[in-house]
Amino acid sequence: MQPAEKYLGEVLEAYDLHAPVVGAVRFGQGHINDTFCVHTQPPEGDCVRFILQRISDAAFSSPVQLMQNIVGVTDYLKRIITEEGGDPERETLTILHTRAGETFYTDRGGRAWRCMPFIEDTVCLQSAETPELFAASARAFGQFQRRLRDYPAHTLFETIEKFHDTEDRLRRFKAAVQADVMGRAGGVRPEIDFVLAREPDCSVALEAQRAGKLPLRVTHNDTKLNNVLLDRRTGAAVCVIDLDTVMPGLAINDFGDSIRFGANHAPEDEKDLSKVGFDLDLFAVYTRGFLEGCAGSLTSAELEYLPWGAKLMTPGGSEPGPLPDTVQTGLRYGAPVGRDGRRCSEIGRTVAATYRKKSPRGPVQGPRGDFRRRAYGSGA
């Protein structure tokens, strides 16, 4: 594969950025796409920046479908944001068209590129140093759900097939164990047994969806703090970014992925598992913020199944089977429903009751101050 820099000149010629390009440098800490910050200098005024990305063909097989998803969702969001009196140029991404009128450009090497205006005066953090920052991201992803509640999710493409199909993942796991092509299965029997003991859990959410309890939603599928741009001065959420994995899915999975990433004191790729632990207080902070952002757009069944989303995304410390009614250590924090979808646990009732009340909006406000020293670009 040729380095992305080889094609920068060609790609930049495909866009009319309304001013001479004076620089393009790699940007952010993403590991999937090649991301550049492009600087242009108009004859008068300040430098104007853009984000230019080469889409990973290893991760995404169809840039056409991927970009159709993104453009459809962002165009819809712009309309909703405008109706709400917001700023559609800051509160969602804007996909620029090429000179030929396309939403992406294909270089001579066959790789797809897209370009977006840089959203200024924002930062992207790699970890939440305070509960307030975690809550800000929660409100952003909850608002993402609310604003897209009426979008026809079934019209979206699966940019990664069966991404959260836990039954399919289990089938493939069993097949890999059976094949044992590297002869390693005997040395990891406890880990294999751990997964197999949780086989029934893999069907909980999917059975609820098939039964019509959980509706199909527009889901982000990478709901981490570093996929939310925060206001540089206030810490308030401005824009949800990295929409490559926007697909039809379940809202509880977006919730659960955030818990996996944020309600944990260790990085998501930590190798020392003794450092990995579940923080119930952060779980509560995120739940409050997420449901404030959703503002009543989730169904009662989705509220009941929210902790199941967290369990399915973070199974490492949870017991197999129905989640317990009492809050335990690690991930044994209780669940809103038993496998029949009716039994509500203590924490589930607490979650539901909290958001049926008219509690003050934003009980944990973003901290004041300058975030620049902790800010890094995402550039997934």
State whether 370 and 267 are in the same domain. Answer: yes
- Predicted confidence (pLDDT) at residue 358 exceeds the cutoff of 70: no
Please, are residues 285 and 138 in contact by the beta-carbon 8 Å criterion? yes
Residue 244 — left, alpha, or beta (φ > 0 → left; ψ -120 to 50 → alpha)? alpha
β-pairing verdict for 237-240 and 228-231:
antiparallel
How high is the pLDDT of residue 142?
98
148 found inside a domain: yes
State whether 237 and 282 are in the same domain. Answer: yes
342 found inside a domain: yes
The last residue of one of the domains, among 87, 120, 153, is 120
91 found inside a domain: yes
State whether 283 and 367 are in the same domain. Answer: yes
For the chain, give the mean pLDDT: 85
358 found inside a domain: yes
Please, are residues 38 and 50 in contact by the beta-carbon 8 Å criterion? yes
How high is the pLDDT of residue 265?
75
Return d(Cα 119, Cα 287) in angstroms, integer.
27
Most confident of 90-94, 339-343, 363-367: 90-94
- Predicted confidence (pLDDT) at residue 331 exceeds the cutoff of 50: no
Confidence of residue 111 (pLDDT cuts 50, 70, 90): very high
Unique residue bearing structure tokens 């959420």: 237
State whether 340 and 363 are in the same domain. Answer: yes
> To 5 degrees, how large is the angle CA 348–CA 349–CA 352?
85
How high is the pLDDT of residue 250?
97
State whether 139 and 284 are in the same domain. Answer: yes
State whether 115 and 259 are in the same domain. Answer: no
% of residues, the chain, pLDDT over 70: 82
State whether 144 and 265 are in the same domain. Answer: yes
Return d(Cα 185, Cα 183) in angstroms, integer.
6
Return d(Cα 204, Cα 207) in angstroms, integer.
5
Return d(Cα 132, Cα 125) in angstroms, integer.
13
- What integer is the mean pLDDT of 136-159? 98
Distance of CA 315 to the CA centre of its chain: 18
Task: Provide the 8-state DSSP code for 84.
Answer: T
- What integer is the mean pLDDT of 157-163? 94
State whether 144 and 289 are in the same domain. Answer: yes
125 found inside a domain: no
229 found inside a domain: yes
Tokens of 103: 């939403």
Confidence of residue 318 (pLDDT cuts 50, 70, 90): low
Q: Is the dihedral of CA 68, 70, 76, 78 positive or negative?
A: negative
φ and ψ at residue 364, rounded to 5 degrees:
-120, 105
State whether 316 and 369 are in the same domain. Answer: yes
State whether 222 and 77 are in the same domain. Answer: no
Q: What does the CA dihedral 82, 86, 92, 96 come to, rounded to 10 degrees? A: 60
The last residue of one of the domains, among 88, 120, 152, is 120
Domains: count for the chain: 2
State whether 73 and 137 are in the same domain. Answer: no
Return d(Cα 374, Cα 127) in angstroms, integer.
9
Tokens of 187: 């040395």
DSSP 280-344: HHHHHHHHHHHHHHHTT-S-HHHHHHHHHHHHHH-GGGPPSSSPPSS--STT----S--TTS-PP
Return d(Cα 286, Cα 294) in angstroms, integer.
12
- What integer is the mean pLDDT of 299-318? 85
Across the chain, where does the E strand assignment appear? 21-26, 34-40, 48-54, 105-106, 112-117, 122-123, 217-219, 228-231, 237-240, 247-249
- Predicted confidence (pLDDT) at residue 205 exceeds the cutoff of 60: yes
The last residue of one of the domains, among 120, 140, 172, is 120
Instruction: Give the CATH number of the domain where residue 358 resides.
Output: 3.90.1200
**DSSP-derived 3-state class of residue 118:** coil
Return d(Cα 379, Cα 89) in angstroms, integer.
19
115 found inside a domain: yes
Q: How many CB atoms lie within 10 A of CB 62?
A: 14
State whether 89 and 219 are in the same domain. Answer: no
183 found inside a domain: no
Instruction: Give the CATH number of the domain where residue 77 resides.
Output: 3.30.200
- Predicted confidence (pLDDT) at residue 329 exceeds the cutoff of 70: no
Nearest to 248 by CA among 317, 161, 141, 171: 161
Q: Is the dihedral of CA 299, 300, 301, 305 positive or negative?
A: positive
Provide the β-strand partners of residue 54.
34, 113
Domain hosting 370: range is 131-164+213-374
- Predicted confidence (pLDDT) at residue 165 exceeds the cutoff of 90: yes
Unique residue bearing structure tokens 């009716």: 342
Please, are residues 95 and 74 in contact by the beta-carbon 8 Å criterion? yes
Return d(Cα 248, Cα 63) in angstroms, integer.
17
